[in-house]
């Protein structure tokens, strides 16, 4: 069998096993036995996970009733997968909420206050790892509210923006894609590659996409679909600015406060004096130790005089 065919078969087997594993786990109990004063009753079975759910890292899901309220909960490996799922599903009816690596949907009512807080705190294995930063690079002007989609794999990209081929994104390297709609019929796909070098290498291929206006800024490649003028304006508004932050906090003694500056000077002077005195005592001790080892602890060392008057 050719190498390419063999890899395709192996990939299909891995995907099939992943979907089967998710299907087996999709009926796990993640919701509490009580919410407020209502007791849990079994809900409808959660739909069988597909390629998209496997892609975003679905672990398990459950639906249950609490009186007139129906709650559905999906648990993911991390908050990034939950964020992608939340954006894709939030327009499907009901009240949707993301809680770390969980996505919740409330139908027939909504929990608030202490009851909602208790439900979220009781979710098993809930984590609060940071959300993706890529959405922050979307231009805000004329963006259509609620149109955002976040993609981390081929299945999500095919569903959200079929005009972009998944091979352009190199998802295997960790590429992320943020999509949004803008007034005037413009759709923006913002691709975040791992490094600016990879983005530069992929740019010529992405520029071949029919009807797309493409711009690159650092590791970001903006792909805008729409009328040329409107698409160009949106693509040009994408700017990447790298930021550097220290791992540990530092104190700046010279930040403009004269008192802090003087304190810093006195501290440095004290450290130098302590070092000099310590070094002198160390040398004196070593010389006395040398005399004692030589058997003449009270011997006076001769003074060396340099006669420089005739020089």
* Residue-averaged pLDDT of the chain: 84
Confidence of residue 15 (pLDDT cuts 50, 70, 90): very low
Cα Dmax for the chain: 112
Is 226's pLDDT higher than 70? Answer: yes
Contact yes or no for 88/159 (Cβ under 8 A): yes
Distance CA 101, CA 210 (A): 37
Residue 39 CA: distances (Å) to CA of 33, 123, 259: 6, 16, 64
pLDDT digits (tens, 9 = 90+) for 241-281: 765 555 555 555 455 567 777 888 888 898 998 989 988 88
Phi and psi dihedrals of 278, rounded to 5?
-60, -40
Reading across the β-sheet that carries 176-182, which strands appear in turn? 149-151, 176-182, 186-192, 220-225, 212-217
Q: pTM of the prediction?
A: 0.68
Q: 224, 231 in Cβ contact below 8 A?
A: yes
Q: How far apart are the first and last CA of the chain?
A: 94
Query: What b/e string do you get for 139-164 counting C-beta neighbours within 10 Å, with b at 16 or more?
Result: beeebeeeebbbbbbbbbbeebbeeb
Higher-scoring residue by pLDDT: 309, 40: 40
Q: CB–CB of 63/46 below 8 Å?
A: yes
Residues 6 or more apart whose CB falls under 8 angstroms from that of 1 comprise 9
Question: Per residue in 203-212, pLDDT tens?
Answer: 999 999 999 9
185/201 Cα distance (integer angstroms): 29
């Amino acid at each position: 069998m050719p190498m390419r065919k063999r890899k395709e078969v192996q990939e299909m087997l891995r995907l099939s096993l992943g979907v089967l594993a998710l299907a087996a786990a999709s009926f796990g109990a993640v919701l509490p036995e009580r919410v407020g004063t209502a007791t849990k009753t079994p809900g409808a079975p959660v739909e069988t996970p597909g390629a998209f759910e496997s892609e975003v890292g679905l672990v398990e899901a459950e639906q249950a009733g609490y009186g007139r309220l129906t709650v559905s909960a999906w648990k993911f490996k991390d908050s990034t997968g939950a964020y992608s799922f939340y954006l894709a599903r939030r327009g499907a009816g009901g009240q949707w909420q993301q809680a770390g690596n969980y996505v919740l949907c409330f139908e027939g009512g909504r929990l608030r206050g202490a009851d909602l807080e208790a439900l979220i705190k009781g979710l098993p294995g809930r984590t609060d790892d940071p959300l993706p930063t890529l959405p922050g690079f979307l231009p805000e002007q004329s963006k259509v509210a609620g149109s955002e989609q976040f993609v981390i794999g081929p299945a999500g990209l095919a569903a959200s923006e079929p005009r972009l081929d998944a091979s352009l994104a190199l998802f295997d390297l960790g590429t992320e894609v943020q999509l949004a709609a803008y007034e005037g019929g413009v759709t923006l796909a913002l691709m975040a590659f791992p490094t600016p070098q990879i983005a530069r290498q992929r740019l010529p291929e992405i520029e071949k996409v029919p009807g797309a206006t493409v711009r690159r800024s650092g590791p970001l490649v903006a792909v805008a679909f729409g009328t040329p003028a409107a698409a160009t304006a949106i693509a040009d508004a994408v700017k990447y600015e790298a930021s550097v932050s220290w791992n540990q906090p530092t104190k700046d003694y010279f930040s403009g406060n004269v008192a802090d500056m003087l304190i810093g000077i006195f501290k440095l002077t004290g450290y130098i004096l302590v070092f000099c005195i310590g070094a002198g005592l160390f040398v004196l001790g070593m010389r006395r130790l040398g005399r004692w080892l030589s058997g003449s602890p009270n011997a006076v060392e001769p003074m060396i005089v340099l006669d420089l008057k005739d020089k």
